[in-house]
């Protein structure tokens, strides 16, 4: 199998740029529908409207896509799930939950290259032709739409998963595109290794329940092992970790807040523990993990939350909400002087906070 994969990678050549199909054909109709969906998506409040970050990801996709660059349009979507997908008309969605989790440019290139591999191989068109009913076609199209993806993708995506051969083709093409663009292919299996940490943290070990990616792809263990074998045949290349950090740092607090609000505390704690290990001087990570512990509220979680809040404060430049979290725990424990000091610190640090009046009422409850 590995020998066949290597031969495929060495002999594969990208197709010529696609021309717009006739509207009367099934593919032409699909393109027309996706054009309308793309226009609707771009009006959505969930779209991240930041020209610099969007342009950065767009340029990365272009380096991978080569001659197909003019036909690919990246849309960044603010939602805490790990997902990227690409429609047959060239629209590519990249979700901020994915951007939070990748560690460098090379890992993002691995994911984008995989999706571009599906696009260049026209796999979504093949899947459409495999469907037998108009209802199934409508659900398939919903995989690319934001509302359908967030609400129901995990439930229906298994019906429309790409075949194993298609997934392997996309992985091989993705690695080929990574190498041509100068990226280290060994970063590709690390994406799956990191996601496995989150999956294994779930009590039910069921990744498809809340993960778009796991609902539509083969087992991550299989994907990780096969990618590693293929990548090891020709390692070497850039990772661009420092460049990646400079690009995503301004957005990380907002993305971490979205992750905590997602309510999947076991997964979030596993993710944040990894991020803390990789970047021990970053105060946002222990703060966010402290929030996850506090909101989960199991026995000993409040002690773990306080320890994380204190670690964030020790690093300096902690989010103001660190002191709010501490104050709320002290309030629950009837440690009123400590609660008042922490909550007052929060109010002074974040005078425009949306919960200012509520927290102020808590401070007043503690008395003098």
- What are 95-149's pLDDT values in tens digits? 999 999 999 999 999 999 999 999 999 887 777 666 655 555 555 555 555 444 4
- What are 327-363's pLDDT values in tens digits? 999 999 999 999 999 999 999 999 999 999 999 999 9
Domains of the chain: 2-231 (no CATH), 251-365 (1.25.40.10)
In this model, does residue 22 exceed pLDDT 70?
yes
pLDDT confidence of 64, banded at 50, 70, 90?
A: very high
Cα–Cα dist 102/190, whole Å: 9
Once rounded to an integer, what is the mean pLDDT over residues 321-329?
A: 98
Cα–Cα dist 117/123, whole Å: 9
List alpha helices for 102-181, DSSP H: 105-120, 123-130, 134-142, 146-156, 164-180
Q: Is the pTM of this model over 0.75?
A: yes
Question: Which strands sit side by side in the sheet containing 84-86, from one edge to the other?
Answer: 73-77, 91-95, 84-86
Cα–Cα dist 164/160, whole Å: 12
* Residue 94 bridge partners (DSSP): 76, 84
Smallest CA-to-CA distance from 78 within 282, 259, 269, 271 is with: 259
Cα–Cα dist 337/327, whole Å: 10
Q: Which of 28-37, 39-48, 77-86, 279-288 has the lowest mean pLDDT?
A: 28-37
User: For residue 33, what pLDDT is reported?
Assistant: 79
Q: Would you say 117 and 68 are in contact if contact means Cβ atoms under 8 Å apart?
A: no
In this model, does residue 322 exceed pLDDT 90?
yes
CA–CA distances in Å: residue 35 to residues 61, 142, 144: 19, 13, 11
CB count within 10 Å of CB 125 equals 16
List alpha helices for the chain, DSSP H: 2-11, 26-42, 51-65, 96-101, 105-120, 123-130, 134-142, 146-156, 164-180, 187-201, 212-216, 220-231, 241-248, 252-261, 265-278, 284-296, 301-315, 321-332, 336-349, 356-365
């Amino acid at each position: 199998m590995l020998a066949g994969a290597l031969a495929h990678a060495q002999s594969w050549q990208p197709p010529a740029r696609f021309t717009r199909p006739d509207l009367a054909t099934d593919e032409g109709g699909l393109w027309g529908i996706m054009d309308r969906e793309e226009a609707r998506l771009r009006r959505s409040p969930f779209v991240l409207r930041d020209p610099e970050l969007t342009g950065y990801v767009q340029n990365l996709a272009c380096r991978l896509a080569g001659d197909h660059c003019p036909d690919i349009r990246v849309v960044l979507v603010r939602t805490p799930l790990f997902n990227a997908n690409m429609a047959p008309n060239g629209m590519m969605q990249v979700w901020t939950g994915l951007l939070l989790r990748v560690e460098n440019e090379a890992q993002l290139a691995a994911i984008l290259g995989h999706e571009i591999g599906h696009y260049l191989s026209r796999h979504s068109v093949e899947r459409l032709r495999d469907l037998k009913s108009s209802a199934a076609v409508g659900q398939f199209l919903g995989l690319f739409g934001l509302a359908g993806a967030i609400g129901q993708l995990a439930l229906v995506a298994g019906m429309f998963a790409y075949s194993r051969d298609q997934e392997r083709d996309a992985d091989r093409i993705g690695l080929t595109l990574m190498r041509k663009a100068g990226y280290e292919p060994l970063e590709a299996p690390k994406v799956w290794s990191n996601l496995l940490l989150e999956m294994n943290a779930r009590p039910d070990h069921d990744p498809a329940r809340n993960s778009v990616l796991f609902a539509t792809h083969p087992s991550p263990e299989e994907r990780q092992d096969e990618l590693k074998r293929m990548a090891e045949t020709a390692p070497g290349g850039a990772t661009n970790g420092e460049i990646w950090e400079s690009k995503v740092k301004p957005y990380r607090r907002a993305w971490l807040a979205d992750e905590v609000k997602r309510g999947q505390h076991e997964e979030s704690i596993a993710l944040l523990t990894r991020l803390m290990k990789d970047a021990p001087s970053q105060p946002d990570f222990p703060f966010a993990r402290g929030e996850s512990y506090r909101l989960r509220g199991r026995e000993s979680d409040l002690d773990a939350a306080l320890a994380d809040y204190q670690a964030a404060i020790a690093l300096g430049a902690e989010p103001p909400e660190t002191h709010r979290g501490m104050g709320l725990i002290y309030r629950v424990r009837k440690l009123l002087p400590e609660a008042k000091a922490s909550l007052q610190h929060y109010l002074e640090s974040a005078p425009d906070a949306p919960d200012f009046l509520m927290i102020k009422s808590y401070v007043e409850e503690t008395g003098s």
